[in-house]
Amino acid sequence: MSMTSPFAEITEDAGARAQAIRGQEAFDATYGFRNSLLASGTPAPPVLDKWGRAPGDPDYGKDPLGGGGGSNVTGPRVMSDAETATTILTNTLKYYGLDDPELVTSIKDALANRIITGSSTVDEIGVQLRETPAFQRRFSANEARRAAGKPAYSVSQYLQLESSYRNTLRAAGMPDGFYNDYTDFQRFITNDISPDEIQYRVQQGYQAVREADPAVVNELKTMYGLDDSTLAAYFIDPTRARDVVVRSARAAEVAAQARQQAGIGLTAGQAESLVMGGISEAAARQGFGVVRESQELLGTLPGEETLTQQELIEGVLGTSGPAAQRVATTRRRRRAAFESGGAAALNTLGQ
C-alpha cells in the first residue's frame, strides 16, 4: 500500500526535520503493522482516512484543520500528524479486538524498541509478545489449549476463527450483543468448536423453537418480547443464555399452565417469582388446577378480609407461608359457613 506521507512537507528547520523523521517512522511502522494484519489473511478492517477515521465517522476524509490554519499551520500540523499514527494504530488494533490498553502499550513499545518493525507479520508480532500478560489475556484460549496439551493457534488463525464465528452468527440473525466480543469466543476456540458446528447449533436452535409448545413460545413472546432468534440463541450456548433465556422459558412454562388450567394471565414478574420459588411446569399444572377449583375462596363473606388472586396462587402453590395460611383459614371458614348454613336449612325444613 503506497501512501503519501503527511510528514513530507515539514522541512522548515532541523528540529522540524527531526520531528518529521520520527513522525515518518511512526507513520511507516503503523501502516506496516496494519498491512501485516492484512497479509496474514485476517479479515480486512475498514479503510481509514489520512487522519485515522473509519468510513462511518461523520468527519471521514475531512482535514481536521479545515483547509486553513492561518499562520500557525506548521505547529498544529506536526501535532495532528504525530497523533495520526497513534490513531491509525489504535483504530486498527481495536478492529481486531486488540485494543486492551496494556496490549496497545506493549505493541507501541515493541515498535519503538524495534523488537518488531513495520514489516513484521502479525504472527511474528505474536511470537515476540506471547509472554506479555496483555497478549496472554487477549488470546487466553491459546493458553487454555496449551494447558490441555493442545496446539496453539497462530495470531492470524485465531483472528480468522473469531471472524468466522462472528460472521456465522450474524448471517443466522442472532440477537445483537449475544456474541460480539472476543471473550465470547474463547470457549469455542479452547474446545475446538468449529464455525460449522456453531452454524449447526443455530439451525437446531431454530428447529427447536419451531417444534416447541406453541403456548410456551407465545408466553415468551408476550411477556418478554423475545423473538425466534433470541430463543434459538439458547441452543448455541445454554450456559451463557441461562440467566436470560432459561429463566424466561421456565417462567413462560408456568404462565402457560396458569392460562391453560385456570384461565389466569400472569405477568412476567409473577411467573418469575413462582419459578424462583421452585415451581416447575409440572407443579404449575397441578397447582393451577387446584387454583381453578378454589376460585370461590375469592368471594368475601361479612366481616372477612378479601383473599386476593395473588394470595390464592401463592398459597395453593406453596411459595408463600403467610399466603398459604390465609388460604387455609379462608377455606376453613367457608367450610364452617357451609356446614352452619346447611344445618340451619335442615332445622327450618323440620319445623
Q: Kindly report, residue by residue over 297-314, the tens digit of the pLDDT.
A: 887 777 777 889 999 999
| pLDDT recorded at residue 293 | 92
* Overall size of the chain counted in residues: 351
Distances in whole angstroms, Cα of residue 285 to Cα of each of 113, 190, 256, 288: 70, 42, 9, 6
Tally of CB atoms within 10 A around 230: 21
pLDDT of residue 36: 66
212-216 own/partner pairs: CB under 8 Å, 24+ apart? 213/253, 213/256, 215/256, 215/259, 215/260, 216/249, 216/252, 216/253, 216/256
Region of poorest pLDDT, from 121-130, 171-180, 206-215: 171-180
In the three-class reduction of DSSP (H, G, I as helix; E, B as strand; rest coil), residue 227 is classed as: coil
Name the more confident of 246 and 8.
246
Question: What global pTM score does this model have?
Answer: 0.52
Q: Indicate the range of 10-24, 83-97, 144-158, 271-285 predicted with least confidence.
A: 10-24
Asked whether the predicted pLDDT for residue 58 surpasses 80, the reply is no
The dihedral built from the CA positions of residue 216, 217, 220 and 222, taken in this order, carries a sign that is negative
Answer yes or no: are the C-beta atoms of 279 and 319 closer than 8 Å.
yes
At which residue does the C-alpha cell 469455542 appear? 188
- Kindly state the average pLDDT of the residues 7-11: 47
pLDDT of residue 23: 60
The CA distance from 65 to 89, in Å, is 21
What is the phi/psi pair of residue 46, to 5°? -60, 150
pLDDT tens for residues 29-50?
A: 666 666 666 666 666 665 666 5
C-alpha cell at 227: 423473538
| 346 — pLDDT class (breaks 50, 70, 90) | very low
pLDDT value at residue 77: 34
Residue 191 has pLDDT above 60, yes or no: yes
Return the higher-pLDDT residue of 58 and 315: 315
d(CA 135, CA 98) in angstroms, rounded, equals 9
Radius of gyration of the chain (CA): 33
The amino acid at residue 202 is V
The per-residue pLDDT for 50 is 59
pLDDT surpassing 50 at residue 282: yes
Mean pLDDT of the chain: 76
> What SS3 state is found at 241?
helix
